[in-house]
Chain A
Amino acid sequence: MNNKTFYNEILTEHNRFPAHKHPIENPDFSMVGVNPSCGDDIVLNLKVKDGIITDGSYEGSGCAVSQASADIMLDLVIGRSIDEAKHLADIFMRMIKDSITDEELEELEEAAALQDISHMPSRVKCAVLGWRTMNEIFDDSEEE
């Protein structure tokens, strides 16, 4: 039965044992992300120094897809530059909504485990919630 759904082990493990679901002290950025269709409701926190994401976390609640995706995203982007994070977010969004190359899929590491969600239009919003919220943080900080 398992192989019929996109609830693979990577997703369920990040959902049950998230590494980044906790508050952090003095984040440089905090942004609320809401997906009304599932009732997913997260706050994404980032610490940024000299253009590098030095720490990050998320809080809130939601479905396994939204929670695991945010956790995987933070695994990927902590320690990288904002430009690299933007690049990964761009690949992730294209993976979910369109298509990407095998090389790009490799760059996404564990986030590639969410690829099958592109076939589930009702769950796309859950998968991109954390990523969309991160992009909003970057967009806002550029405007300032």
Chain B
Amino acid sequence: MTLNDKKVKELFPILSGNIVYLDSAATAQKPKCVLDAITDFYLHKNANPMRGLYDLSITATDDYELSRKACARFIGAADACEIIFTRNATESLNLAADCIGATLTPDDEILVATSEHHSNFLPWKKACERSGASIRFLDCMPDGIMTPEMLKAALTPKTKLFSVAQISNVFGRINPVEEYAKICHENGTLICIDASQSVPHIAVDVRKIDADFLAFSGHKLYGPMGIGVLYGKKKLLKKLPPFLRGGEMIDYVSKERIIFADLPHKYEAGTVSAADAAGLRAAIEFVEGIGFDEIEKRELHLTELAMEGMKKIPHVRLLGGYTPGEHNGILTFTIDDVHPHDIAAMFAAENVCIRAGHHCAQPLHLLLGIPSTVRASIAFYNTDEDIEKFLSVLATIRSQMGYE
């Protein structure tokens, strides 16, 4: 599908007003088809999936499993049972860390990239604290680069798992996760990939990467809040213990004995969010309909436009790579002498939504020696006009604060 600026705004009802939304890395806006899919589920298919023996429950179950198949197809999983639905990427990563954590000994190590979002650090830290294993960190270079050689040097025979984002939520750079996976596997180390920032922007294939775990949120992928995915290799998920316990994750329960359900239900305790799964499926079909070629083309163009303009404004300092291709729509920056929260407030006064703070990546900000930053994040539904507005406000920030 070829898009133009007018057409994208029509697809996303919330963007029809005066708002310039440049915070898609925090959460993406939802196309109308996603909202319709959620409504359709509750209007026509709502019953508790997997429980009832009547037609409506069977419809709900079928619809839910159709969403699972859509996720499997979307990330290239071999089998739909490798897709576990969660609330969000944070829960997905907690699930992976909790289950791996149960197998750790004090002799083991977990390696985490310093640039990770807190949600891909704190669950692993907890798993290590509980098991007595050690947590170690892989620092990136100041521009966010982590070479395969750096990973190779950081692994030890004790490293059980390496967890890393495919695209950092601060730098926007694509990490060579395929090469990371190869190096990890040669060392007998598992690899867990946080794909929250990558699945909305680039095609992701878990088998090509050879990921052991891969997590993402629905809400950053133009889907609803409240639904996320954890992909895990079947042989790994089969042998790991369950995460949450409760309804529909068992085959048999007596006072003495529990037999857990098969994959994927073993990991989905309690009533699932089938309507949000339907919304996520609609989002995936929407993205597939547009195609990543078109998405990447639009986002690269908008990133180029933004970076060209930012270069011309004195005192604006962009983090990460020098070329638009290294950013995937994520532009994190500082302005000399102006605090990021003041910058965001001045943008807010002009109806431009950007993020300020440490972006849930405090260890990275400490490593870089910057207390906080500002982040504008672009999605394919942004327009040239959005970027022009962003740049026009950016150019006034220092003068609004009384400089020059």
Contacts and interface: CB of A to CB of B under 8 A. Distances in A.
Contacts of B400: 1-2, 5, 7, 12
Contact of A39 (B337, B338, B357, B393): B357
Given A1-B396, A2-B400, A39-B357, A7 B350 contact: no
Nearest to A61: B371
B402 A5 contact: no
A71 to B, nearest CB: 14
A15 interface: yes
A120 B345 contact: yes
Interface size, A (range): 20 to 34
Contacts, number: 56
A12 B349 contact: no
A64 interface: yes
A7 B341 contact: no
Contacts of B337: 16
A4 B350 contact: yes
* Most A Cβ at <10 Å: residue of B342, B345, B349, B371: B342
Contacts of A5: 345-346, 349, 400
Interface string A111-141: 0000000001011001000000000000000
A126 B401 contact: no
A38 interface: yes
B233 interface: no
A139 B348 CA distance: 36
B54 interface: no
Given A38-B339, A62-B339, A123-B345, A15 B350 contact: no
B341 A12 contact: no
A102 interface: no
Given A2-B400, A9-B402, A12-B401, A39 B372 contact: yes
Interface residues of B, number: 20
Interface in B310-368: 337-342, 345-346, 349-350, 357-358
A95 B171 CA distance: 40
A39 B358 contact: yes
B403 interface: yes
B350 A16 contact: no
A109 interface: no
Residue of B338, B339, B346, B371 ringed by the most chain A CB atoms within 10 A? B339
14 contacts: A1-B393, A4-B349, A7-B400, A12-B401, A13-B402, A16-B337, A38-B339, A38-B357, A39-B372, A63-B340, A65-B341, A65-B342, A120-B345, A123-B345
Given A5-B346, A12-B401, A62-B339, 13 more contacts: A1-B349, A1-B350, A5-B345, A7-B346, A13-B402, A15-B402, A37-B357, A38-B341, A39-B358, A61-B371, A63-B340, A65-B341, A126-B341
